[in-house]
Structure 1
Amino acid sequence: MTALPDWMRPPREEGWLADDLDHLPEAPRHTELIDGVLILMMSPQRWWHGEIVDSLKSALKEVAPSGFRVGREMTVRLDERNRPEPDLVVTTAPFVPDVTWFAPEDVQLVVEVVSPESAHRDRAVKPRKYAEAGIPHYWCVEEENGAPVVHVFELEKECRQYAPAGIFREQLKRPVPFEIAIDLDALVG
């Protein structure tokens, strides 16, 4: 077994904090913080995943009204010990070139495209954390016979939990967070 590089050692006894992610230049590009633990993306990305993320980002940008921006692979600082990196974020934050994370109050929608290595986090861990932080909309995109299936959730504000709002195949039409109509089959076509 080889020794851990110095950058992988927490800077304090109580572990990692959200702001520490901005000071890890040697860490893999897609490093997240979940419950004070670094999550390193080490497995190769599947082509399907990248195509869905790119195509869905373009589709959302096309329909997003003024005041909304669509970002890819930017972390959301949920609290001191949680800074996950959704595949896509729809935000109302103004564009600031040097920003490395979004505040949850500026995020209207997070989208996770499920990969084998992230399936549990995307289906169980992250939705709970996004809901607790008050993010109004969550989409979990799964693969079904090569086609995307989008599981849509809306925040129930009183209990800070997501309620299912539909499962979409072929076409996704939603009135929130703005009018959305996306041909899901075209995302990989």
Structure 2
Amino acid sequence: MTAVPDWLIPPEGGFTADDLDHMPGLPPHTELIDGSLVFMSPQKYFHMLAVDLLTRGLRVTAPGDLRVVREMSVILGKRDRPEPDISVVRAEAVTEGAEETGYQAGDLVLAVEVVSPDSVERDRDTKPRKYGQAGIPHFWRVEKAEGRRPVVYVFELDPATRTYVVTGIHHDRLKVGVPFAVDIDLTEIDQL
């Protein structure tokens, strides 16, 4: 009989954010939501294209005190450690040795989620709610429009309610002034 990995059966009360760093054999891109492990299914080509386009655009416009990272988890609390598709983090959170496996919520100024068919509820509801409660100032949700074109929903945190309010919906060009000046031609996805 094959041995069952320890992470297959959750402990009483669920897993913690710290557990993710100590579970051997855990599938890549495993997230922790409400103490439960969430496994990612294979991504579609659109997802990869949208992440590449936005990562490139953010990296060329981000000021020197910020870093753009892909697929790194963020510790929101003891029982929540999701993995945004893209995060913009404060430069001081990135170590010289690049050994970190995730960041604290306070390190992030922006979390970006590209919606996939298997993550619609998490990306539209669960994650933004939890990101807001953790105080991450900006959130972008990216969805597939016609063909391979993305539409980017831009949200800013209302600090009084710790919920996001939509500040823009961008179809062909993503041009915003916060958290820093960004201007990305979304139609470039057609050339990728």
| TM bracket (short chain) | over 0.9
Residue equivalent to 1:122: 123
Within 5 Å, which residues of 2 pair with 1:24-173?
Answer: 24-41=23-40, 43-94=41-92, 95-96=94-95, 97-145=98-146, 146-173=148-175
Residue equivalent to 1:19: 18
Q: Output the CA distance in 1 between the equivalents of 2:109 and 2:121.
A: 23
Q: Output the CA distance in 2 between the equivalents of 1:3 and 1:49.
A: 34
Residue equivalent to 1:187: 189
Q: Output the CA distance in 2 between the equivalents of 1:105 and 1:44.
A: 29
> Is the Cα contact below 8 Å between 2:64 and 2:91 reproduced in 1?
no
Cα distance, 1:90 vs structure 2: 0.3
> Is the Cα contact below 8 Å between 1:56 and 1:187 reproduced in 2?
no
> Is the Cα contact below 8 Å between 1:51 and 1:188 reproduced in 2?
no
The residue type paired with residue 61 of structure 1 is R
> Is the Cα contact below 8 Å between 2:87 and 2:111 reproduced in 1?
yes
Structure 1: tracts of 5 or more residues without a match: none
Q: Output the CA distance in 1 between the equivalents of 2:141 and 2:4.
A: 34
Evaluate the alpha carbon distance shift between residue 79 and residue 188 of structure 1 in structure 2; reply closer, same or farther with a 3 A threshold: farther
3-state SS, counterpart of residue 136 of structure 2:
coil
The residue type paired with residue 113 of structure 1 is V
3-state SS, counterpart of residue 127 of structure 1:
helix
> Is the Cα contact below 8 Å between 2:143 and 2:150 reproduced in 1?
yes
Give the RMSD, CA atoms, in angstroms. 1.4
1:91-133 deviation digits (Å, cap 9, x = unpaired): 1142211111111111000000000001110001000000000
TM-score normalized with structure 1 length: 0.94
- Taking only the aligned residue pairs, the percentage that are identical comes to 51
> Is the Cα contact below 8 Å between 1:18 and 1:80 reproduced in 2?
yes
Q: Output the CA distance in 2 between the equivalents of 1:84 and 1:3.
A: 27
The residue type paired with residue 175 of structure 1 is G
Decide which moves more: 132-141 or 44-53.
44-53
